[in-house]
Chain A
């Protein structure tokens, strides 16, 4: 069964020989620590609690600038974050441009963490960044293994996933 956890959640998104690195909450945190200009992208699949709370805590703990996709803006704004709203294809389009100055105008991001975008359009966005954004790394902490990311959580059951996210948001 271990194998099944790293077959992409929707198995046919497999694009080629390159596969994402499998990460745990600990390695995911290392990636965030190492990044100079990380960005956290939150999609509509995590706009309800408890996921909204986990996501918010992660953003707060790591002081991450947040972009919301689709209609995820309102629930996260209400939760106290100050996100920027983009369509998922719009933000990916900006991220692949090395000249873009980032959501805060201070320079292009070097790590993008995805959580909660609809799987297949998220996968397409990740593919775009894999091909055309060599200047940044992508990390997904969704419940699903995303082979088009540089690094991804494996496929997880809800309980495991919640634990992973909780861990990443724990202060101390």
Chain B
């Protein structure tokens, strides 16, 4: 028997309430428990499945099933290894001094990347949970409101129990951290030697990442009272043009909400909320606006350097992950104050955490310190506001960029060496832009500026032999365009509600709703952010459910139709056909796998606790979901993709994703790879290549759209559902390739699957290849196949 805190009758306590500010009140829910009388609940009645808290090797047999169907495809980014002092070793057709071969080395680096990503989320979640327990006590309950009963589906499945309070979240993190140390240790020289075992560990790391993200997002949702699955979460202003730069501006960059939420609190408390602009870049922006919809979103990561260079921000607060590591130097050039706020990123700054806020303010303003490291988020709120207020009128922001005629003069110094274009990750025509600007034609720079076609990585500027400040030149030309950049985004809503799952479970599993498309990840796009919005629009118009997170969610909001409306204004935020659902930040990605898990649980009544393999098997075979991480660049994105892969959800990445070194590709020409077991009859039978790949890199948007539609096909589609899915696949293939897909026969099980519009053409192909109808399994599964 265990004792738990009763659920609060009213709203959970708001962290931002005045009440919590009083330092010496220690909240203990146990007190309330005692007052209300203890409530006893019996130990969970749900049976625990075979793998609660799985160790590194416990899900290995599932991994091997996935990996024999979706074999790792390696594309080394480097022939060498330099991880130990035996090296460097050249692994091209040779083994390293430790005996490792090229394939295992690629897999090892993938595992390392996943571990780094998982550690970033786990560190982030740990920081939040630790801080919140300090403030609110470990009994603080996890209440997601009335519409969500299956909270924490990932934790339930992996850990084997439902988390009730912050202490349970901390316990989940203990497990994640333990697994992570085993996984990281496997990367050491002279440990794992098999590429497949490295992959199995990477998949485990991905699921640990899932857990860490779920913990992180649940913690912030319940304590900061963020939206709890509201389809009609408010629209938040987004874009540089929405920021009034005549006001003091505080900019938050990174992923941790606490510094930014404390800025909002301080402004509210001191009645200055109208006098300041608080804005964010990357996920910090999304999470602060989930907390308080007055916070503005500058945009995705692709904005970072040009926005810093524009000098609009008076104070920059950095927290963790994906922040430019030269932010201090860049900010100093603009007389912008910098406050670092987490142990992950201290930037060499003096630790001022225990100083009096006014002392820090004066030291910053008098330049006695280069910037401040303040590890107390509340203090960050006060200091940043006070500094911005005094600094703003002094900075004469509008004169921080060169004038246009100066840009022209600088451009005249260009030697036309061409190296700016060569080092550009996307070979964008920077040199042409500079040459044109020499003659007063700024259209080349404008084209680079708009839609973040140039994502301001700054590589060209580093290379320029004339040391031209190309990013400042770009920011200057973009200045007048930026004024018109007024977009919006629906505030991240967090988890999908149980009632929504009940509503869409059947149409999704049967195929009537053709799929869930998850547009996620960073902004390392091959050709600007607009393509992301175009992909979202394409699938929305076709009745798919489109969910989005992070930079992807922001890029979707940066697209305006002819009437000047964003997609968020045109489509509802409901998890339903034609819904455009902003789930939230990177950590909120947990709710996407979470929604698929809930379909297995709510719709198919599969028990979750300790039951990973059965759930993943269900998702792989039945839930037509596919991720698009068009600009995935980070190690976190590697961990996220690998995690969702293990749950059976395929992902399409952009062309830069090939640099992750490893994809999981299916082979339709190997029939034996697609065998399944029909659990209803126990028979092993021929299956379909559905989904065909688990992680796939597309060369351009057109290819990605077609592949995504194909990857939503599942063996359990009904005839009607399959017709709908094939109709979209054929339609899109025809549009971009000008003909019917040559592999269409692989997805036609019997004549009922053939879409009516294309009946004649499809039949012709079927005849050509000598197609014959196939038996349809009732409960297709990889379980009970070889290896079990």
Residue contact B79 to A121, C-beta cutoff 8 Å:
no
- Residues of A near B738 (CB, < 8 A) are 73-74, 77-78
The answer for the CA separation of A132 and B90 in the assembled complex, in Å, is: 15
The answer for the CA separation of A128 and B73 in the assembled complex, in Å, is: 8
Interface stretch, picked from A12-20, A26-34, A51-59, A164-172, is: A12-20
Q: Does A36 contact B (CB under 8 A)?
A: no
In the assembled complex, the CB of B688 is this many whole angstroms from the nearest CB of chain A, namely 17
- Given known A71-B736, A120-B659, contact A43–B699 (CB-CB < 8 A): yes
Q: Which of B420-451 contact A (CB under 8 A)?
A: 422-423, 425, 427
Q: Does A139 contact B (CB under 8 A)?
A: no
Q: Does A64 contact B (CB under 8 A)?
A: no
Q: Which of A119-168 contact B (CB under 8 A)?
A: 119-121, 124-125, 127-128, 130-132, 134
Measured CB to CB, the nearest residue on chain A to B78 is A15
Residue contact A125 to B526, C-beta cutoff 8 Å:
no
Q: Does B737 contact A (CB under 8 A)?
A: yes
Interface stretch, picked from B246-254, B262-270, B700-708, B769-777, is: B700-708
- 1/0 per residue, CB under 8 A from B, across A74-98: the answer is 1001100000110111101110000
The answer for the CA separation of A11 and B427 in the assembled complex, in Å, is: 12
Residue contact B697 to A121, C-beta cutoff 8 Å:
yes
The answer for the CA separation of A85 and B74 in the assembled complex, in Å, is: 21
In the assembled complex, the CB of B576 is this many whole angstroms from the nearest CB of chain A, namely 31
The answer for the CA separation of A117 and B739 in the assembled complex, in Å, is: 21
- Given known A16-B79, A87-B696, A124-B75, contact A73–B737 (CB-CB < 8 A): yes
Residue contact A74 to B736, C-beta cutoff 8 Å:
yes
A16 contacts which of B74, B80, B667 (Cβ < 8 Å)? Answer: B80
Residue contact A130 to B92, C-beta cutoff 8 Å:
yes
- Residues of A near B659 (CB, < 8 A) are 120, 124
- Residues of B near A84 (CB, < 8 A) are 742
- Residues of B near A21 (CB, < 8 A) are none
Measured CB to CB, the nearest residue on chain B to A8 is B422
The answer for the CA separation of A132 and B92 in the assembled complex, in Å, is: 9
Q: Which of B61-105 contact A (CB under 8 A)?
A: 73-80, 90-93, 102-103
- Given known A9-B422, A73-B739, contact A128–B697 (CB-CB < 8 A): no
- Residues of A near B656 (CB, < 8 A) are 120-121
Q: Chain B contact residues (Cβ within 8 angstroms of A): what range?
A: 35 or more
- Residues of A near B663 (CB, < 8 A) are 89
Measured CB to CB, the nearest residue on chain B to A70 is B699
The answer for the CA separation of A117 and B699 in the assembled complex, in Å, is: 8
Q: Does A108 contact B (CB under 8 A)?
A: no
Residue contact B76 to A131, C-beta cutoff 8 Å:
yes
- Residues of B near A121 (CB, < 8 A) are 655-656, 658, 697, 699
- Residues of B near A11 (CB, < 8 A) are 422-423
Q: Which of B462-520 contact A (CB under 8 A)?
A: none
Q: Does B665 contact A (CB under 8 A)?
A: yes
The tally of residues in A whose CB lies under 8 Å from a CB in B reads: 40
Binding site secondary structure of chain A: helix
- 1/0 per residue, CB under 8 A from A, across B729-742: the answer is 00000001111001
- Given known A11-B423, A128-B73, contact A89–B658 (CB-CB < 8 A): yes
Residue contact A71 to B700, C-beta cutoff 8 Å:
yes
Residue contact A15 to B425, C-beta cutoff 8 Å:
no
- Given known A73-B737, A73-B738, A120-B658, contact A89–B423 (CB-CB < 8 A): no
In the assembled complex, the CB of A52 is this many whole angstroms from the nearest CB of chain B, namely 14
The answer for the CA separation of A117 and B755 in the assembled complex, in Å, is: 33
A70 contacts which of B79, B80, B703 (Cβ < 8 Å)? Answer: B703
Q: Does B712 contact A (CB under 8 A)?
A: no
Q: Does B187 contact A (CB under 8 A)?
A: no
Q: Does B154 contact A (CB under 8 A)?
A: no
Q: Does B698 contact A (CB under 8 A)?
A: yes
Q: Which of A28-48 contact B (CB under 8 A)?
A: 43-44
The answer for the CA separation of A60 and B119 in the assembled complex, in Å, is: 54
Residue contact B667 to A93, C-beta cutoff 8 Å:
yes
- Given known A73-B738, A89-B665, contact A120–B93 (CB-CB < 8 A): no
Residue contact B742 to A85, C-beta cutoff 8 Å:
yes
Residue contact A118 to B699, C-beta cutoff 8 Å:
yes
- Residues of B near A85 (CB, < 8 A) are 737, 742
Residue contact B703 to A125, C-beta cutoff 8 Å:
no
The answer for the CA separation of A170 and B703 in the assembled complex, in Å, is: 32
The answer for the CA separation of A120 and B699 in the assembled complex, in Å, is: 10
The answer for the CA separation of A90 and B697 in the assembled complex, in Å, is: 9
Residue contact B655 to A93, C-beta cutoff 8 Å:
no
Residue contact A124 to B658, C-beta cutoff 8 Å:
yes
Residue contact A131 to B78, C-beta cutoff 8 Å:
no
In the assembled complex, the CB of B196 is this many whole angstroms from the nearest CB of chain A, namely 15
The answer for the CA separation of A126 and B75 in the assembled complex, in Å, is: 8
The answer for the CA separation of A124 and B737 in the assembled complex, in Å, is: 24
- Residues of B near A63 (CB, < 8 A) are none
Residue contact A10 to B427, C-beta cutoff 8 Å:
yes
The answer for the CA separation of A18 and B78 in the assembled complex, in Å, is: 11
The answer for the CA separation of A84 and B698 in the assembled complex, in Å, is: 17
In the assembled complex, the CB of B472 is this many whole angstroms from the nearest CB of chain A, namely 24
B74 contacts which of A9, A90, A118, A132 (Cβ < 8 Å)? Answer: A132
In the assembled complex, the CB of A63 is this many whole angstroms from the nearest CB of chain B, namely 22
Measured CB to CB, the nearest residue on chain A to B76 is A127
- Given known A70-B703, A128-B76, A131-B92, contact A120–B422 (CB-CB < 8 A): no
The answer for the CA separation of A77 and B734 in the assembled complex, in Å, is: 13
Residue contact A128 to B75, C-beta cutoff 8 Å:
yes
- 1/0 per residue, CB under 8 A from A, across B629-665: the answer is 0000000000000000000000000011011000101
- Residues of A near B707 (CB, < 8 A) are 87
- Residues of A near B103 (CB, < 8 A) are 132
In the assembled complex, the CB of B676 is this many whole angstroms from the nearest CB of chain A, namely 22
- Residues of B near A77 (CB, < 8 A) are 738-739
The answer for the CA separation of A62 and B96 in the assembled complex, in Å, is: 41
- Given known A18-B92, A71-B736, A73-B739, contact A128–B74 (CB-CB < 8 A): yes
The answer for the CA separation of A69 and B655 in the assembled complex, in Å, is: 12
In the assembled complex, the CB of A101 is this many whole angstroms from the nearest CB of chain B, namely 8
In the assembled complex, the CB of A58 is this many whole angstroms from the nearest CB of chain B, namely 21
Residue contact A120 to B425, C-beta cutoff 8 Å:
yes
Residue contact A89 to B78, C-beta cutoff 8 Å:
no
Residue contact B696 to A131, C-beta cutoff 8 Å:
no
Measured CB to CB, the nearest residue on chain A to B106 is A131
Residue contact A70 to B698, C-beta cutoff 8 Å:
yes
In the assembled complex, the CB of A44 is this many whole angstroms from the nearest CB of chain B, namely 6
The answer for the CA separation of A71 and B737 in the assembled complex, in Å, is: 6
In the assembled complex, the CB of B198 is this many whole angstroms from the nearest CB of chain A, namely 16
A118 contacts which of B73, B80, B700, B736 (Cβ < 8 Å)? Answer: B700
Residue contact A16 to B90, C-beta cutoff 8 Å:
yes
Residue contact B427 to A119, C-beta cutoff 8 Å:
yes
In the assembled complex, the CB of A84 is this many whole angstroms from the nearest CB of chain B, namely 8
Measured CB to CB, the nearest residue on chain B to A96 is B73
In the assembled complex, the CB of A46 is this many whole angstroms from the nearest CB of chain B, namely 13
Residue contact A15 to B80, C-beta cutoff 8 Å:
yes
Most buried by B among A17, A117, A120: A120
Measured CB to CB, the nearest residue on chain A to B80 is A16
Residue contact B658 to A125, C-beta cutoff 8 Å:
yes
In the assembled complex, the CB of B352 is this many whole angstroms from the nearest CB of chain A, namely 39
- Residues of A near B702 (CB, < 8 A) are 70-71
In the assembled complex, the CB of A3 is this many whole angstroms from the nearest CB of chain B, namely 13
Residue contact B655 to A120, C-beta cutoff 8 Å:
yes
Measured CB to CB, the nearest residue on chain A to B737 is A73
Q: What would 20 A/B residue contacts be, using CB atoms closer than 8 Å?
A: A12-B423, A15-B78, A15-B92, A16-B80, A77-B739, A85-B737, A89-B75, A89-B658, A89-B663, A89-B696, A90-B665, A92-B73, A92-B75, A94-B667, A118-B700, A121-B655, A121-B656, A131-B74, A132-B102, A134-B93
Other than the known A16-B92, A17-B92, A93-B73, what 8 A-B pairs have Cβ atoms closer than 8 Å? Answer: A10-B425, A11-B422, A15-B78, A71-B737, A84-B742, A90-B665, A118-B655, A118-B699
Closest 5 A-B residue pairs measured CB to CB?
Answer: A16-B79, A74-B738, A124-B75, A70-B699, A71-B702
What is A's interface to B at a CB cutoff of 8 Å?
Answer: 9-12, 15-18, 43-44, 69-71, 73-74, 77-78, 84-85, 87-90, 92-94, 100, 117-121, 124-125, 127-128, 130-132, 134
